[in-house]
């Protein structure tokens, strides 16, 4: 199973000691389906989509073995769908190529009609003589039958389509069969029944092999309801072609085209949990979260043992900050697929968000144990360690994350904050500058660097970064307040007053803005205005640690004004 969404759906904020707040960059990922082939005895995963696939006719074998290309309706339909992506193809030419293969198999069969010999002969011609080869990829070429014939390579979908169209030409009762995130074909004439793995050169596998695959388990209710492991109808075969093509469209960023294809798939095959799960991912990308949630719920109703849909629904809840439900769904995904590093990772992020750093660190440990090169898991564990006042462990994790993924600028931001907290200002500035190179419009990054420059005493550089942050985000009251302090240090007194005034206008309840504006007015000899600001400061902050000092200043100002 792969996780192409890798598209994040949530960013979080967390407090840090020096900088007061931090864009922590926590990310929740979505899981799209993938076409996989199961290895023996272990599971190999590809980068594609769960594909139920393919069927030929449900008719019994024709003992005459007559080739009837005019009846090859599935083959023609498959090529017509392919032609939407490859408009230059000559469908009749490809139908002739299929007929040539059928003729070769027919010659090998002679008058043989025994199912085992039929399967053996088809396998020998396709995989030994013609050397068609399985490839574990999810691109359009590996799916489309015209390309499979051209290159003699295909994924489980492309090879299963080939097998079904050959069977159709031979009038052999071979059908497509779907299980979550995989397809294969089956010989079934009512008396003899055998599953055929096209990705393993026709290897036979029992139904039981597919039922308890980690992360792709099939509930007995799903089987009873005809969702999986049944012989597919012709419409359900076509549905899976559209379903697979929708995934390639989604990966290319063509969301509307992907949505159109998955809608076609659901119209033709309305009880495929994987289709609903993937449409839910598309709706999330379109920010239609209510529709996404409906689809995830539908997928769970169809197959309550399908781990990826719990993962996806958990990520949706996390993006809405409904962390209790997110954690429950991630936990269910882990129970169904304990080898999912991403499920542990996302649950760890959710635990961090509710302050359970102990559980968060445990989940990141599990994610890293499953995937020792999971850079983001090191980064998130580093944040959890930093928030747990274990800076040495945090720094080690940030360093390891960057060692694994030197281009991950988010980790540079996290490490810069840790350096700044420890007053390693040069290191903090170097890291955040690295981040800014590829994130020039990130206002918060300039804030981090402004604070580091200020800590180092490079006030002019600090002011330049405050200016840039306000240019990018002019509605942050606290930034005007801090820039006012910087301007006071640079003897830009009138400009400092303007910043304090803006800070108060945007947020009139910050006592420190009144305090520093009062100091500035006092410095300029504007005692009446200073007096008013000091009084407001004490009203807003009656327990101020410098309260007595300010009260004395107020009395002196009053005396001065009387005289």
| Rounded distance between C-alpha atoms, residue 70 and residue 477, angstroms | 75
pLDDT digits 0-9 by tens, 308-319 = 999 999 999 999
> What does the DSSP 8-state code read for residue 40?
S
pLDDT at res. 31: 56
pLDDT band at 28 (very low <50, low <70, confident <90, very high): low
For the chain, state the CA radius of gyration.
32
Cis preceding linkage at 95, omega within 30: no
pLDDT digits 0-9 by tens, 376-407 = 999 999 999 999 999 999 999 999 999 999 99
> What does the DSSP 8-state code read for residue 69?
G
Mean local confidence (pLDDT), 115-140: 94
Evaluate if residue 363 carries a pLDDT over 70: yes
Cβ atoms of 113 and 177 within 8 Å: the answer is no
* Sign (positive or negative) of CA dihedral 74, 78, 81, 84: negative
Mean local confidence (pLDDT), 252-264: 94
288 within some domain: no
| Rounded distance between C-alpha atoms, residue 56 and residue 462, angstroms | 70
Smallest CA-to-CA distance from 240 within 35, 102, 432, 381 is with 35
Smallest CA-to-CA distance from 146 within 53, 239, 236, 241 is with 241
E strand segments, 149-295? 153-154, 174-179, 182-188, 193-196
Evaluate if residue 50 carries a pLDDT over 60: no
Smallest CA-to-CA distance from 57 within 217, 181, 230, 232 is with 232
Report residue 486: phi and psi, to 5°: -60, -45
Cβ atoms of 398 and 379 within 8 Å: the answer is yes
Smallest CA-to-CA distance from 347 within 321, 373, 326, 319 is with 326
Report the CATH number that the domain containing residue 201 is assigned in CATH: 3.10.620
| Rounded distance between C-alpha atoms, residue 51 and residue 452, angstroms | 52
Cβ atoms of 401 and 375 within 8 Å: the answer is yes
Read off the tokens for 61: 């074998």
302 within some domain: no
DSSP letters for 111-151: T---HHHHHHHHHIIIIIIS--EE----SHHHH-HHHHHHH
Cβ atoms of 75 and 93 within 8 Å: the answer is no
Read off the tokens for 222: 């799903």
Structural domain span for residue 84: 69-246
Evaluate if residue 114 carries a pLDDT over 80: yes
Strand partners, 179: 182
551 within some domain: no
**For the chain, how many structural domains are there in total?**
1
pLDDT band at 227 (very low <50, low <70, confident <90, very high): confident
- Those residues whose C-beta lies under 8 Å from the C-beta of residue 310, and which sit 6 or more positions away, are 300, 329, 330, 332, 333, 336
* Sign (positive or negative) of CA dihedral 284, 288, 290, 295: negative
Report residue 192: phi and psi, to 5°: -115, 135
- SS3 of 547, please? helix
DSSP letters for 428-459: HHHHHHHHHHH-TT-HHHHHHHHHHHHHHT-H
Mean local confidence (pLDDT), 411-421: 96
pLDDT digits 0-9 by tens, 91-113 = 999 999 999 999 999 999 988 89
Mean local confidence (pLDDT), 13-33: 37
Read off the tokens for 559: 């005396």
Evaluate if residue 17 carries a pLDDT over 50: no
Q: What is the pTM of this model?
A: 0.79
- Nearest 5°: the CA angle 69, 75, 77 is 120
> What does the DSSP 8-state code read for residue 152?
S
Ramachandran region, residue 201 (left: φ > 0; alpha: ψ -120 to 50; beta: rest): left
Q: Which residue carries 């039929």 as its tokens? A: 118
Interstrand relation of 133-134 and 153-154 (parallel, antiparallel or unpaired): parallel
Cβ atoms of 540 and 514 within 8 Å: the answer is yes
126 within some domain: yes
Evaluate if residue 21 carries a pLDDT over 70: no
| Rounded distance between C-alpha atoms, residue 466 and residue 482, angstroms | 8
Highest-confidence segment of 221-230, 235-244, 389-398: 389-398
pLDDT band at 494 (very low <50, low <70, confident <90, very high): very high
Read off the tokens for 93: 């030419």
426 within some domain: no
| Rounded distance between C-alpha atoms, residue 84 and residue 173, angstroms | 29
| Rounded distance between C-alpha atoms, residue 139 and residue 86, angstroms | 14
Mean local confidence (pLDDT), 60-73: 40
230 within some domain: yes
pLDDT at res. 462: 98
Helix or strand holding residue 134 (H, E): strand 133-134
pLDDT at res. 219: 85
Q: How far is CA 344 from CA 124, 440, 441, in A?
A: 44, 32, 32
Read off the tokens for 319: 């993006």
Cβ atoms of 348 and 367 within 8 Å: the answer is yes
Average pLDDT over the chain reads 87
60 within some domain: no
97 within some domain: yes
pLDDT at res. 71: 43
């Amino acid at each position: 199973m792969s996780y192409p969404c890798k598209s994040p759906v949530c960013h979080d904020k967390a407090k840090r000691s020096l900088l007061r707040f931090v864009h922590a960059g926590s990310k929740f990922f979505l899981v799209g389906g993938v076409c996989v082939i199961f290895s023996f005895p272990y599971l190999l995963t590809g980068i594609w989509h769960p594909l139920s696939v393919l069927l030929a006719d449900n008719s019994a074998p024709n003992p005459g073995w007559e080739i009837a290309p005019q009846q090859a309706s599935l083959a023609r339909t498959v090529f017509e769908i392919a032609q939407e992506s490859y408009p230059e193809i000559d469908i009749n030419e490809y139908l002739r190529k299929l007929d040539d293969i059928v003729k070769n198999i027919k010659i090998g069969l002679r008058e043989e009609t025994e199912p085992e010999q039929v399967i053996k002969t088809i396998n020998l011609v396709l995989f030994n003589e013609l050397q068609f080869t399985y490839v574990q990829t999810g691109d359009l070429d590996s799916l489309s039958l015209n390309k499979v014939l051209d290159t003699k390579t295909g994924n489980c979908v492309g090879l299963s389509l080939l097998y079904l169209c050959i069977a159709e030409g031979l009038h052999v009762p071979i059908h497509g069969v779907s299980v979550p995130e995989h397809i294969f074909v089956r010989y079934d004439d009512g008396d003899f029944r055998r599953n055929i793995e096209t990705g393993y050169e026709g290897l036979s596998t029992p139904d039981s092999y597919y039922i308890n695959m980690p992360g792709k388990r099939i509930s007995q209710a799903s089987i009873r309801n005809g969702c999986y492991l049944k012989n597919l109808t012709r419409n359900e075969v076509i549905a899976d072609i559209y379903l697979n093509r929708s995934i390639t469209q989604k990966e290319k960023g063509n969301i509307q085209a992907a949505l159109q294809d998955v809608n076609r798939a659901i119209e033709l095959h309305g009880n495929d949990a994987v289709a609903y799960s993937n449409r839910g991912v598309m709706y999330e990308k379109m920010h239609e979260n209510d529709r996404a949630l409906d689809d995830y719920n539908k997928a769970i109703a169809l197959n309550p043992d399908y781990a990826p849909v719990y993962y996806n629904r958990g990520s949706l809840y996390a993006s809405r900050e409904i962390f209790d439900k997110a954690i429950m769904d991630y936990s269910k995904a882990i129970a169904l697929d304990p080898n999912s590093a991403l499920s542990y990772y996302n649950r760890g992020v959710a635990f961090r968000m509710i302050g359970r750093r102990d559980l968060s660190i445990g989940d990141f440990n599990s994610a890293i144990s499953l995937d020792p090169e999971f850079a983001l898991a090191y980064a998130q564990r580093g944040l959890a360690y930093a928030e747990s006042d274990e800076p040495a462990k945090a720094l080690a994790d940030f360093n390891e994350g960057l060692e694994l993924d030197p281009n991950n600028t988010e980790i540079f931001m996290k490490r810069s904050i840790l350096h700044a907290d420890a007053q390693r200002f040069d290191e903090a500035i170097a890291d955040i500058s690295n981040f800014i190179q590829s994130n020039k419009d990130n206002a918060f990054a300039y804030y981090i660097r402004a604070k580091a420059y200020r800590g180092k005493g490079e006030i002019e550089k600090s002011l330049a970064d405050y200016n840039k942050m306000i240019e990018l985000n002019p509605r942050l009251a606290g930034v005007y307040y801090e820039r006012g302090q910087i301007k006071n240090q640079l003897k830009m007194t009138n400009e400092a007053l303007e910043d304090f005034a803006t800070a108060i206008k945007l947020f009139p309840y910050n006592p420190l803005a009144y305090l520093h504006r009062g100091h500035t007015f006092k410095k300029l000899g504007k005692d009446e205005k200073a007096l008013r600001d000091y009084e407001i400061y004490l009203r807003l902050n009656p327990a101020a640690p410098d309260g007595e000092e300010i009260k004395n200043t107020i009395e002196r100002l009053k005396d001065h004004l009387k005289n």
